[in-house]
Each structure stands twice: as C-alpha cells, then as structure tokens.
A and B are shown apart, each in its own frame.
Chain A
C-alpha cells in the first residue's frame, strides 16, 4: 500500500502517472482485483475488509489527484516558458497612413457647418465667365478682376478663381431659404513662395426672406466658427471690399503664436487674417433672379487654416506628397 503511494508520488511525468492510474484504477487494475476478493470474504470480516479497501482507494485517489495537479501545473509552466517572447519588439510593426492636413482641415470645417444644417454643394472647376465673374457683380473690366489672375482656355472657358460660382449655380437651381457651403479647389495664376496655382476654399451662403438675415447674424456665426476652429482667440472684423458683398469685412483672429504681442507670423501686428465675408450684394441676387431676399456669404482659404492650425511653414510643401511631412499627421 505504501509502496503504491510512493509510486504515485515519485512518478515524474503525466505519461508515467497515466500508466500508474491504469495499474491502480483500471478495469484490470489493483483496486478492481481487490474488490473482486470481497465476494470471497466471509460475513463478519467482509465489512472490515470493505472499509479498509475504501480507505485505501480514497487515499490512493487523493495522492493521485495531488500528483496530477502538480505535474499538470509543471507542464503548463514549461509550455508557457517555451513560448516566451519579447513582445516589446513588436510595438510599431504596422503603421497607418494619414489624411492630408489640408483635406483633414476641410473635413473639420465641413463638420462644423453640417452640424449647423448647411448643405454641402459642389460645382465644376472649369467655369464660364458668367458664373465666375459676371453674376458675382464683377462685370468685364472691373478693376477687382485684377485681384484674381485667371487661367483661361482657348475656347473662352476658365478655371474658377473662387468657389463662389457654386453659390450662383445653387441659387439658380433652387429657391430660398438656402444654407450651403461649397468646399473645393480653386485656381489663380500665381506661383511663388506664398502662392500655388491651385488651392482650396470653403464658401458659405445663407439666403432668407428680405429683412431676416443681417450682418449681426453673420458676425455671430463666424465668431463661433473661429472659436471652434482656433479655440480661445479674439476675433476682429475689419471693413473691406468684395464686389459680391456689401457691406464686406475681413475677419482677423488674434495671433495664435504670440497671443497678440506681435511676431514674425503675424508681421508684428498681433492679428492673422483668416476670412472674408459680407452681405450678398443686390446685383448678385439680381443676376440669379431673386427678389425680396437678404443673405450673407463668407469664404476662407483651407491651406491658410491648415498652415496656422498645424504650424506648417511652407505652402508649397503641401502639394509635394512628401511622406516626411505627411507621416507627422498619422
């Protein structure tokens, strides 16, 4: 009996323990043979023998269970150790790409206005004189056309110099009330350190019944917009001139780099110009056949926003597909 227990305790693997299990507990094993003897034992000793046998079985079973757990634990431990890995090696093994900072900025701008229930509208990039200039109160030979150096095609078509023609197309194809933005690429014939022949604008337009929309409304929304984009900045409106709006204003934010003290980015002024806006000129409404309406419009350069928000110093680098720049925005 003791030797049997010793055998269990000394077994050194799950395989040898399994052999012992069969020897002891199997159908043809030690215990089964002992129980067979029971039927030959006369009455009075039978009970005593049976009790002894049950005790033996129990103590063997518990010795077995104990040893089994020990061996199982050991085996798992060995398996775990054998699978050891320096997991810290694999931290940066795959990387995602990134959205382009200009496009990502445009997304954020669109999100803001969509949340205010503005529709997103689009239009062609190859435009005609009517939609790009004439309807926007920029008649032929208007001096303000000089402000926008235009790409022309041999058949007289042109590349849109701003996203404003989308306003005209939207007004011509629908009726007020209108609340829309037009994001997209625009083109001017200018190519130097601070100008690229293509850049992106987001244009906004609101048209309501006459008397419903005022400059005060425009001011309220753009101030909130700029706070959403740039955080806690001061916002300043300066009267300006655009042929398609009257009154017009340019909007500045306090310089986000020097907090208004004056630095290189804001040319020591403490202010950064970020938006143009105004009340839609009545000549524009006339051109699309609207009567008794009022409205406001605004426009901004997406590259300018992106460069300010992400401190990107070089405009042209945005059009180079340089991964060294792009991977910083992962």
Chain B
C-alpha cells in the first residue's frame, strides 16, 4: 500500500509530524514501512504562465514561448508538443540544478535564445507521466506565478510504501491508513464533505430501477450522470503515477484514484448500452453460495466485488454513465469464490481482504471528482443493503492484562477501542461489551482486541518479564538424538569432510537413471518448482554428486562432503541418512608426498568411516543401484544391523562428472545410534598372539572366514583380524590370507595345549567350510 503525506493530509493534519515520527509510528502500529522517499524538487523551479507560443522559425518540433515567471517574462524554447495547450507550467530558471547533473544555462537553440526550461515530471525527479511537460492546475494548491515548486507540499511530497499484513484490508486505502494513524498520533480525522454544485435536477427513478432477489448479502449504491467531458486534474495524474496505477481511460483513472483514496469498491458502466425501452432495469441476484450477480435486462454486468463484464465499461465517447459503489463481507465472498473457476479482476484483491463498508462515502468522493461544468447528475440514488451481522464481544480487562503481562488502565483500554471505531456498550466495570466496526472484520476474539491495545500502546512500552517456570526434565527423544548427530558431524569434520546442505528435492530422471527408489506417482509432487527438483529424493548421493561436479568445475582436486538429511521411500516414508562422498586426492599436496598425494582408495575411505561412526563390519554388497562399483562395494553392518552401503563410484558415473577416483557411502542414521554398553572383565593373565596363513579360493570373502570363526564361540579367543593378503601365479585361483589371533583366558595362564586346541579348532572349521588349507 502506497500513501503520501499530502494525500493523507486530505483526512488528517500531519502538519506537526516529522517524517521520522511518521516512520516510527507506522512501524509501531503494525503497518511496516517498506520504503520512504521524499521528492526533493530543486531550487529555482517555479510556476510560470505561458503568455504566447509560436513555432520556431528553423525547427519544426520546437516552439518559442513567452513565459511569465513572476519577476519578468522569459523567452524559452520548448520541444514538447503539448506546450501549445499549456497555461501554467513548471519552469527551471537559469541556475537551477536538475537531477542527473543538469544545470540550466542560457542557450541558443537554432539561433533562438532560450532562458530556462519548461519541465516534465521525470526531469524533476518525479515519476514519469507520459510524454510532454507538466500542465499545472489548481489541484496542487493555489497557483502563484513565480512560486517555487518545492514549496507545494503536493508536489514535494513524501511517498511511503507500507507492507500490510493479510488481516489489515481496512488499511488498503488512504482513508483507512489515516484512520489508523489518527488513533496512534491522537489526531482528529476530518470527515469527507463535498458541496455539490449540481444544478438542474432530474430524479434517477425516471431513468433507472433496481430489483433484488434472494437474501441480500451485499451493499450496493448506484448513481447516474451525463457528461460531455471528464477532467483529470494534474495532481490526480501525478499521484496515480506515484502509486504506479495502470489505467487507460480517464474515467478508469478516476475510479482507481477514488478507490485508492476511500477503499470503497467503485465501478462505472456504459449506461447507454444498458437501456432497454429508454430505461435501465438493474437486477441484483443474491445466490445461495454468497455470490451476488448483477444484470440489466439480458446483459450480465458481473458479480459484486469479483469482476465486471468488460464490455460494459464506459469509453471516452459515452455520455450516460452509471456509477456503482459496493461492499460485500470478505469472509463470505472468499469462501464462495475459492474452488470455483470464476474470472476475477484487479479489484477482487481488495474485496477479498475487506473493502471499506461506508459505500456512500466512496460514491460522494467519486462524484466530487467527476463534477465539472459539463457534468449533470441525476438526483438521488438507487441501492440495496444487506443486513450485516455486527459482531459483539465481552471484554474482561483482567484477561487483557494477563495476556500482555502488564496492567493497562481500564480508561486507556476503552479510549483506544473507541478511537479505533469500536462501540463500547457499557463501560462501568472491568467487564464490558464491545461492538466491532464493520471495517475490522479481522477482529473476532479477545486476543484480537488485545493486539489492538498492544499496537497502540506500543510493544516497546511493555516491560519485559522473565517467565517463572516449574522445571522438569525435558530431554525426551529428539534432544539426545541432536546431541548424537552433532557428535557425528563433528567427527566427520575432523576427518576432513565438509558439511553439505541440499534440497529434499531431486530430479526424477536422475533417480530413475541411477536405479534409486521413485515415489509412487499417486504420492508425488503436484506442483514442483523446476524440472531438476521435481520429486523428493530417495538418496542424498545424487545431490552430493551434483555438488561434486560443481566443485570439480571450480578446480577442486579433492572433494570430501557429507550430509545428514531426510530421504523418502516409494511410499514417502521419511528417514534420516548420513551420506559421505570422497573424491580425488586423499591428502593435501605437500612436501610429505612431493606434491603428489595418493588418490583415495577403499581402505582409507573405510578407515575414515570408522573414525566417524565407530565399529562396523563389511559384507558382500546386496544393494543394486548404478552408482556402485560391482567389485568394490559392500554392505556396512553396525552392531549387527545392516545400515547402508560403501562403494567405489562406478567408473561410468565418475567419468560423467569428470571426477577422479571417488567413494560414496549412505548409512541409516537410526542404525548408527550408539547402544548402552556394560564393561567386561579384564584378564590379569598373559595373552598370546598367533598368526595363521590360510590358502583359500579367491572368491572366499574374509567375511565368510570371519563368521565361521565367530560361530565357534571360543571363549578364550578374544579377537582376530586379517593382516595380509597374497596372491601369485603359483597360487593360481587361490589366495593366501593371514589372520592374527589373540588368545587370552580370564582364569589362568594359557598352556601350549590350550593354544593348540584353539588353533586346530579354527583350522578344522575352516577346512570344512571354506576348503582352506594351511600355507
């Protein structure tokens, strides 16, 4: 909503109020100031009167004008075509400094001397008003030849753009803003009054009649006029340019101006075309669903507050014009319109937010703009009015105090409500009734009223008080999870990974291409924002690959990223995963590696994962997406639970992203949460390390060996791990695998026979299940 100081001045006197105070007040009453701009008109730009105007002898497009500028008559050459019709103009005198570093000097234009410049609005830093110079008139104030334009408050105005919240439809007009401001600044608001100079009177009933049907939900008021000429005063044109209003016809401009000023929904119809047998018969049909349809004879005129049938709008040639002011409660209208494909015009925004209910004010204001010596108004008006329910509330001051946390005097509460237009029904006690004004349809309960009090008192005048609270443990489930997640993230950072944040979205085509889950079409996004984000992700790996690609493009030689975030399955169930990607050089380039660090490889990637998540084992890969390397991928098990995959990136994908050797892992967060642990007794006796070198077939995975040994459940076998892998031609399709065992008893020092028993049991089992032989 755009307002200007001088425009507000039509309703309240802001004379003693500085722009700073205006800015602070708007913000403190909840009308947030988006921008504030004062038009600074340069000095030596004055009102001039064009005395004569002749064609330039040597230039078709130039005119030579004699202009009275107060202290003399100047000869000025002007290039604007409309100067021939001009009477009062803005003249920049010699010495004036216009915006854009344009200083006015004596000039000779094609041999004719020129002493100044006749200006357009944009040349003075005002909003542009089409081509041509400013044609001043008394709409800006009394015209005094020689008076500087900067002294006209209507021109050297201050423009304020307000950001209105959705509930404040009542402030979508100059009048509405002035009304709210008047309460905050404790200024009187001047009612609009207009003395009609209408002469000869013919009753409207002789030309038009109105019929209504159904329980009326809208207020409507009609006036009829004939006119030969519609004027557009300079100031109205200027202000419309300030609010960037778009309208073609002059009548349209005046309607826009009157609506912006009063907040009343105003329309005009080409009345000539509505006549049937020399009479206009208007029908108002109030439908069950809350929509009110207008028609004249067979012709549909539109629906109240929603749209006007464009063919009924008057053009410049129309003499007979029907004017309409309307109001319809927004709650009713919005609910009815929603879900229907009804054409809505620009005014619908206002009706849906709540337009000004005082429609006769709007009509009077519009009439005052249209009145001139060529206009003739029919006497009286036609109209219907709805029986609007006015809401009432019982106010308990105690409740207001406890909501605010501070006592606001009863008298103050009542004073504020009264000045905001609320009717107080009995103000004797702490409890009283309040009738809500129609223009504040957003106020529905005591909390809404409290907000009004807070707004006017000012939040900054409320004393802050700490809350007294009975404490209890609030750890719950999510708080410890956050702490765990935090630790995990810190460890990933410690291992050189950067935290990534990407969208929950992904491109369907990519997920499909790489063989990841797709959302069931019935559960997919209806209105994605762009093609690349057209579904929810079922993996973070694709997003991390995109980030990898960007970093490679920027020249990164090593990229390590991780992200913890949500993914969904085909049925859109959400879970959180930890996804890691490491690409390229494992270490920084430096002296230690002569500037040629090794590329990341499976063992070092797995080691990093271990540093981040703790103990894990790897098993043969059971995942099947196309990012995985078929021979360097594994299922990762954490505390016996499968929780995701670790893999080298498939060379084809690697190539597509222009990456070096790259490794990825995606793990379920749920499976990584640490479990409770109890301490085991520590042996006081000496333990023994024993190595065993086995020869097994190449396709026997260590995990097979591992699980076979584990299933023996030998109590004194404390731990074991692979320490060497060897192949050569002599071994052929076999490989040699060396495993180191640590044997220790809780009860005694081991004897040779105990150790032999363990080792032979292991060997026997492996011979049987893995066809292993001793090397």
Interface residues of A (CB under 8 A from B): 89-90, 92-100, 102-103, 107, 110, 114, 117-122, 124-126, 140-144, 146-147, 151-155, 157, 159, 177, 179-180, 183, 185, 187, 189-191, 196-198, 206, 208, 210-217, 219-221, 223, 236-241, 243, 246-250, 267, 269, 279, 281-283, 294, 318-324, 326-327
Contacts and interface: CB of A to CB of B under 8 A. Distances in A.
Contacts of B645: none
A7 to B, nearest CB: 47
Interface string B495-526: 11111111111000000000000000111111
Nearest to B536: A126
Contacts of A324: 554
B464 A220 contact: yes
27 contacts: A95-B496, A107-B486, A119-B479, A126-B574, A141-B335, A143-B334, A144-B167, A151-B528, A152-B527, A153-B572, A155-B522, A177-B472, A197-B503, A211-B402, A213-B467, A214-B402, A214-B405, A215-B462, A217-B465, A220-B465, A223-B464, A236-B460, A240-B32, A246-B447, A283-B445, A318-B501, A321-B501
Contacts of A141: 334-335, 337-339
B252 to A, nearest CB: 26
Given A141-B339, A214-B404, A323-B498, 19 more contacts: A95-B588, A102-B501, A118-B474, A120-B479, A121-B478, A122-B478, A126-B536, A153-B524, A180-B474, A185-B565, A211-B402, A212-B467, A215-B454, A238-B30, A240-B32, A241-B167, A249-B454, A250-B32, A321-B547
Nearest to A180: B474
A320 B525 CA distance: 23
Interface string B474-503: 111011011000100110111111111111
B463 interface: yes
Interface residues of B, number: 103
A154 B404 contact: no
Nearest to A124: B574
By Cβ-Cβ distance, the 7 closest A-B pairs, closest first, are A214-B405, A321-B547, A216-B405, A241-B165, A239-B30, A237-B459, A247-B451
A114 B479 contact: yes
Interface of B: 27-30, 32-33, 35, 165-168, 330, 334-335, 337-339, 352-353, 402-406, 445-448, 450-451, 454-455, 459-460, 462-472, 474-476, 478-479, 481-482, 486, 489-490, 492-505, 521-530, 533, 536, 544, 546-548, 550-551, 554, 556, 559-562, 565-566, 568, 572, 574, 587-588, 590-592
Contacts of A211: 402
B551 A321 contact: yes
Given A151-B527, A239-B30, A179 B404 contact: no
A120 B480 CA distance: 9
Contacts of A210: 402
Contact of A97 (B447, B468, B499, B574): B499
A198 B492 contact: no
Contacts of A98: 493, 498-499
A323 B556 contact: yes
Given A124-B574, A216-B464, A321-B498, A240 B30 contact: yes
Contacts of A241: 30, 165-168
B527 A215 contact: no
Contacts of B448: 246
Contacts of B337: 141
Nearest to A107: B486
A152 B566 contact: no
A298 to B, nearest CB: 13
B32 A238 contact: yes
A327 to B, nearest CB: 7
Nearest to A321: B547
B464 A239 contact: no
Contact of B455 (A99, A220, A239, A326): A239
B352 A143 contact: yes
Contact of B501 (A100, A121, A140, A237): A100
Contacts of B28: 238-239
Interface centre among B448, B499, B523 (most CB of A within 10 A): B499
A228 to B, nearest CB: 14
A120 B478 contact: yes
Nearest to A110: B482
Nearest to A217: B467
A152 B505 contact: no
Contact of B166 (A146, A216, A249): A146
B411 to A, nearest CB: 20
A107 B489 CA distance: 11
B455 A216 contact: no
Nearest to B442: A241
A154 B523 contact: yes
Contacts of A240: 30, 32, 165
Given A120-B478, A152-B525, A247-B403, A239 B459 contact: yes
A172 to B, nearest CB: 15
B447 A119 contact: no
B631 to A, nearest CB: 28
Given A103-B489, A239-B30, A117 B496 contact: no
Nearest to A179: B474
Contacts of B497: 97
A117 B471 contact: yes
Judged by DSSP, the binding face of A is mixed
A147 B166 contact: yes
Contacts of A122: 478, 481
A214 B481 CA distance: 31
Contact of B465 (A95, A190, A214, A281): A214
Contacts of B536: 126
A263 B168 CA distance: 29
Contacts of B500: 100, 321, 326
Contact of A185 (B330, B486, B566): B566
Q: Which of A141, A223, A279, A321 has the most CB of B within 10 A?
A: A321
A323 B529 CA distance: 26
Contacts of B522: 154-155
B568 to A, nearest CB: 7
Name which of B168, B405, B445, B502 has the most chain A CB atoms within 10 A of its CB. B405
Contacts of A318: 501
A155 to B, nearest CB: 5
A222 to B, nearest CB: 9
Nearest to A119: B474
Given A98-B498, A121-B478, A177 B35 contact: no
A316 to B, nearest CB: 11
A25 to B, nearest CB: 40
Contact of A154 (B334, B469, B475, B524): B524
Contacts of B330: 143
A253 to B, nearest CB: 13
A249 B404 contact: no
Contact of B529 (A120, A189, A321, A322): A189
A249 to B, nearest CB: 5
Contacts of A216: 404-406, 462-465
A305 to B, nearest CB: 14
B338 A93 contact: no
Contacts of B167: 143-144, 241
Contacts of B404: 214-216, 247
B478 A119 contact: yes
Contact of A319 (B165, B476, B503): B503
Nearest to A187: B504
Given A214-B402, A239-B29, A89 B591 contact: yes
B501 to A, nearest CB: 5
A179 B469 contact: yes
Contacts of A187: 504
Nearest to A222: B464
Nearest to B492: A97
Nearest to A251: B459
